[in-house]
Structure 1
Amino acid sequence: MLKEKKPFNSASVERVLLIGLESSGKTTLFSHLTGNHVGDEINVKGSTYSIRVQKMADGEFVDSPGIRIDDSLSNHVVKKEIERASRFILVVRGTQFYDELNQLLPLVTDQRKPFVILVSHADKMQESSKRLLRKFMLQHHLPFIVVDSRKVKEEQCANIRSFIYEQEPLTRSQLDLLTRIHLDDVIPKERIFSQNLFGYIQALIFILAIFLVPVVIAYQLSGIIQPLADQFVIHPLSESLNGQPSILKELLVGNYGLLSLGIYSFIWAFPVVVLIGFSTAVVDESGLKDRIVDCLDPPLRKIGLNGQDLVPILTGFGCNVVAVFQTRNCSYCTRTTCISLIAFGSSCSYQIGATLSLFSAAHHVWLFLPYIGLLFLGGILHTRLWYAHGTTALGGPTFIRRSFLQAPTLKGTIFRLKGVVKQFLLQAMPIFILICIFASFLNFFNVIHFIAYLFYPLLALLHLPLDAGVGLAFSMIRKDGMLVFNQGNGALLAQLSVSQLFLLVFMASTLSACFVTIWTIGRELGLKTAAGIVIRQLVTSIICSIFLFVLLFFL
């Protein structure tokens, strides 16, 4: 026997849930309604998704995952949040009003809870459509609010919040009327990033610019800051600790110390995270991100991913840890594949800096471009080798968002950037600190040198110096650990040919993700899944390294 639904209790704590399809303007409206606060990101129990919650004086606002037509799990997560919420804001683009509203209404109509319909993209709508909505609002008391989501002022936000709390559940006749309202669709013109070979090339070049420009700027900035940190922070601290217990010195200012490595982590990772975060925020605000995502969705589905997975993959070139957190917005069937590709092929800021340093010290800096290209090809092989089943799980083509291109706003860009920075400082940096402590103990008790012995058979097979085993072991702790190859004033590098150098750096980059990334994957997906990703990456890296060895030395 079905349980009778409890009537809505207006005296309970108000929890206002924003619901909308991807790219409807929902997150932008959330930022305005909450005073540009990014809120607290909270994992949804039993899923890969997260929600963003901001407590207000009169309750709390919740930004739910954007609903995807081809992802039933996102719909399931939203339904779970709907059960907890007391009121709803349905965010619907006025340019595709009928289709979007009729996809959202079934989620809330059986809840008997109040809701309002925020019609976004008012600046793109036809005037006749706005007049029709005003008519229905006045004559039938339907809860419409028509706004330009990018230009909502604080006074409007206050009025919207008051309007939300004044609503009562709609009657059945009002709900039936909502499903029959037709407005003229406004379809944006397809100027760039069309789904053909030329569009794919355009999108790839644009992605390269989004990643490359911030990385180059951040690398130069970090290169200026690090010597200053050494001179004014690390060296004075090291001298002040003379005479103290060696374990204390190791923990604080050793090669992997809390202060030495922790500061380096901040110096090298933070600028890249901020600049790539700013770059992607601008692209997101302008509507270009959705165009790129839609354009590259078909080729990415052939390797078990979809266009939406591009965002965390790009973030991985700044910080793999933040990228793993961002995969919470991936589809359920692609998240593990996306994380595995990030761990294998997304060179974080430490890895990029270390490889450039090694190639430069060996006077072969030109190797960096083929190195990045090989990581990309290896990543594709890796996903095809282990996650080919994802191509069938994805099903047909994704829903096209039909995003409008527009000038990014400073407020919207800063809001998105604040979320990335908060995630780095509160989630990534604490993990870095824990790894510093762990790595310091490994280094102090010479465990690293014992781990290096495990690489001797592989190094012998590939005709590489056994001394390189220590560098491979250090690179598993963090990717710039491969700088150990440059020890002894470059004595090891001097022994290597160009082919050996290239092969050795590739192995150090791909045999395993760093401990910080593995730790984060374990926390997000569980230890069993993390172990599976590590083992698969090790196998792929060895296969690629052997193939590369044969190619370089015998062909």
Structure 2
Amino acid sequence: MKNSVILIGKESVGKSQLIRSLTGKNAISEKVKGTTINIQSYETSQFHFIDTPGILLETDSLTTKLALNEIPNSDCVILVITATSIDKDLSDLLPLVQDKPGAIIITHWDLVKSKIHTEILQKLEQEVGIPIINVDTRNISSDEKQHILDTLTKPQIFKKAKVTTQVEFTLKPKKSIFEVPLVGKLFAILLLLLPAWVAVKFAILLADNLYDTVYNGLNPIIQKINNLPSPISHLLGTDYGIISMFPFLVLYALPTVFLFAIILSLYKTSGLVDRLTLTIHPLVAPFGIVGRDVVRIVMGFGCNVPAVISTRSCSSCTRGNCISAISFGAACSYQLPATIAVFAAAKMDYLIIPYLLILAITTLIYLWVTTPKKARIFSSKLVISERDFMQWPSLNATKAEVFALVKEFFRVAFPIFIVICLIAGVLNWLGVIEALASLMSPVMTLFNLPGEAAASVVLGSIRKDGIAIGLLNPAMDGIKIAISHPVQILTVVYLAGVLLPCIVTLFTVAKEINVKFALKLTLRQMIAAIIFSLFIAWIGYLI
């Protein structure tokens, strides 16, 4: 039987990179016994490595509790600390691993190797009674790798929870543009918006060049499917079927997800994410979230479901607010491409910038109104206390991150696409969509929209790509309802996208928190979406 080796350490110390270097393999996702939480594990012929989430001692996050709870269940512990703050990390983490067998690995050694004498580490090693190995996790030699594996074969016991030997050395990153007043915050905001903007522009470019080819190739197949008996024709063809929506999936959704994954991975592996969250924190704290939460919200632009799951790392004080922001303001890989497709068909590509700005501003207002005072007080306390080091992104680490994000899309979001296509097809066959659209049609006048716009609102509430289905003609090169003013286009796209959470996101929220919270979130979001849409419709039109 393989020995289980758990890696424990704070955030951004290089645990994942260390395991990938030791094993040469990608992670396997597995559930923690007795929970619905997944952790990353890596297999070798000798060991079963477990990569736990980074420990945040200042918070009561679910993932920190998970990491601490996993320590007693392991055969061996690798305590991973960074060379830039050895004394602090040992002081904080040694008590957690007392009486467990294991080793200490110091990462980021390349940053300090000329500044810390090996004699002090030898003295520290003697006092703690545990092998201390220093490495550059990106460039572990075969000898270093073998030394670590040999150490784990016969690990020593962590006997001390506190040491008197001090390295007395800390290294802080140089100041950068992010520390420049005002300019740094503006730059951070631009970088946070960049993934969505690049993904949008690339998807539009791809669709402009390939749509006719894809559509013309599929059109004969769709025509044959439409001649099949119901409900098969509705499930596969017509306006809502799987095959009919294939061009949208290939030309808009997949490119958006892939590019988003690449950019986000570059941010993570370079250390840029930590720098952005630190910079942006003072701006978002008044709204009941912390800097790290903004990154989770940005993740929602890929898919809301893994973004909601990632909130397990949030404090209990801010988790609900972060989930609310993801549900309300993170346009997922179906909603955002559908929005792009509508703007492109209306020959109003420029609307994507005001759309994203309106989405961001209304999300902040929504959080301000709904955030409890307790969350605002907590979020004013900065969780990331120091700047992290920036580095050039690692190709292997970036590839692993991209692979994980794209895999998550196909594991979670793609099946959702299929299921919701089938549900929409059945509802269309039964006439439910048409009935709901007719029922809502008179209400559309309140938003300065024609009654036909109700179909896109209904469809957008059922499935986020329904925004495009309800507004675009069959060739997806024009708007099929009588609206032409930019404000009308913005209003209907905003209302259809924000009125209700994605169905699967809602189920995920209910599973992660509880049903009561999910229902409360839905009601609040519906009310806010209606109010904001009325403002967009009439104030925008008057302007």
User: Which secondary structure state, in structure 2, belongs to the residue aligned with residue 51 of structure 1?
Assistant: strand
1:180 aligns with 2:165: yes
1:133 Cα deviation from its structure 2 partner = 1.2
User: In 2, distance between residues paired with 1:230 and 1:553?
Assistant: 35
Match of 1:87 in 2: 76
The question of whether the paired residues in 2 share the 8 Å contact of 1:337 and 1:383 is answered with yes
Aligned pairs for 1:331-410 within 5 A: 331-389=315-373, 390-394=375-379, 396-410=381-395
- Please give the secondary structure, in 1, of the residue aligned with 2:179: coil
- Number of the residue aligned with 1:32: 21
Q: Return the letter of the residue paired with 2:270.
A: S
Partner of 2:491: 503
Structure 1 residues 250, 95: CA separation in 2 closer, same or farther (over 3 Å shift)? same
Structure 2's unaligned 5+ residue stretches are none
Distance 1:208 1:466, change over 3 A: same
User: Which structure 1 segments of 5+ residues have no match?
Assistant: 1-11
Secondary structure at the aligned position of 2:139 is classed as coil
- Give the TM-score taking structure 1 as reference length: 0.88
Q: Which residue of 2 aligns with 1:143?
A: 131
Deviation sequence 1:108-163 (CA, Å, 0-9, x none): 11xx2202111001011143343421454479753101001121245533431221
Q: Is 1:198 aligned to residue 183 of structure 2?
A: yes
| Count of residue pairs the alignment pairs up | 537
Alignment of 1:46-195 (within 5 A): 50-73=38-61, 74-109=63-98, 112-127=99-114, 128-137=116-125, 142-153=130-141, 156-172=144-160, 176=162, 178=163, 180-194=165-179
1:62 aligns to what SS in structure 2?
strand
Does residue 475 (structure 1) correspond to residue 460 (structure 2)? The answer is yes
Q: Which residue of 1 aligns with 2:396?
A: 411
Distance in 2 (alpha carbons) for counterparts of 1:326 and 1:263:
30
Partner of 2:518: 530
- Which shows bigger deviation, 273-282 or 319-328? 319-328
Instruction: Note closer, same or farther for the CA distance 1:522–1:227 as it changes in structure 2 (3 Å cut).
Output: farther
SS at match of 1:193: helix
- Higher mean alpha-carbon deviation, 383-392 vs 281-290, is at 383-392
Contact residue 510 and residue 537 of structure 1 kept, 8 A: yes
SS in 2 for 1:184: coil
SS in 2 for 1:187: coil
Whether 1:466 aligns to 2:451 is yes
Closer/same/farther in 2, CA of residues 514 and 197 from structure 1, 3 Å limit: same
Instruction: Determine if the alignment matches structure 1 residue 251 to structure 2 residue 238.
Output: no
In the aligned structure 2, how far is the partner of 1:476 from the partner of 1:203? Answer: 32
Q: Percent identity at matched positions? A: 31
Q: Is the 8 A contact 1:15 1:87 kept in 2?
A: yes
User: What's the secondary structure of 1:302's corresponding residue?
Assistant: helix
Q: CA deviation at 1:50?
A: 4.2
Aligned to 1:513: 501
Contact 1:36–1:415 (Cα < 8 Å) also in 2:
no
1:491 and 1:230 map into 2 onto residues whose CA distance is 17
- In the alignment, is the contact (CA less than 8 A) between 2:121 and 2:167 conserved in 1? no
Using the alignment, how far apart are the partners of 1:308 and 1:50 within structure 2?
A: 20
Question: For residue 543 of structure 1, what is the aligned residue in structure 2?
Answer: 531
Task: Give the corresponding residue for 1:17.
Answer: 6
State the shift of 1:99 in Å: 0.3
1:76, CA displacement in angstroms? 2.1
For 1:445, the aligned partner's letter is: L
Q: Note if 1:317 corresponds to 2:295.
A: no
RMSD: 2.8
For the 8 Å contact 2:204–2:341, the answer to whether it is kept is no
Between 1:417-426 and 1:352-361, the stretch displaced more is 352-361
Shift of 1:307: 1.0
Kindly state the Cα deviation for residue 268 of structure 1 after the two structures are TM-superposed: 2.5
Tell me if structure 1 keeps the 8 A contact 2:6–2:50.
Answer: yes
Report the alpha carbon displacement of residue 262 of structure 1 after superposing the two structures with TM: 5.7
Distance 1:78-1:358 versus aligned 2 partners, 3 A rule: closer
Measure the CA separation in 2 of the matches of 1:231 and 1:517: 34
| Contact persistence 1:50–1:328 (CA under 8 A) | no
- Output aligned runs, 1:267-306, within 5 Å: 267-306=251-290
In structure 1, C-alpha distance between the alignment counterparts of 2:261 and 2:183, rounded to whole Å? 27
Greater alpha carbon shift after TM alignment, 425-434 vs 255-264: 255-264
CA–CA distance in structure 1, aligned partners of residues 391 and 9 of structure 2: 20
Tell me: CA distance 1:548–1:170, structure 2 relative to 1, closer, same or farther (3 Å). Answer: closer
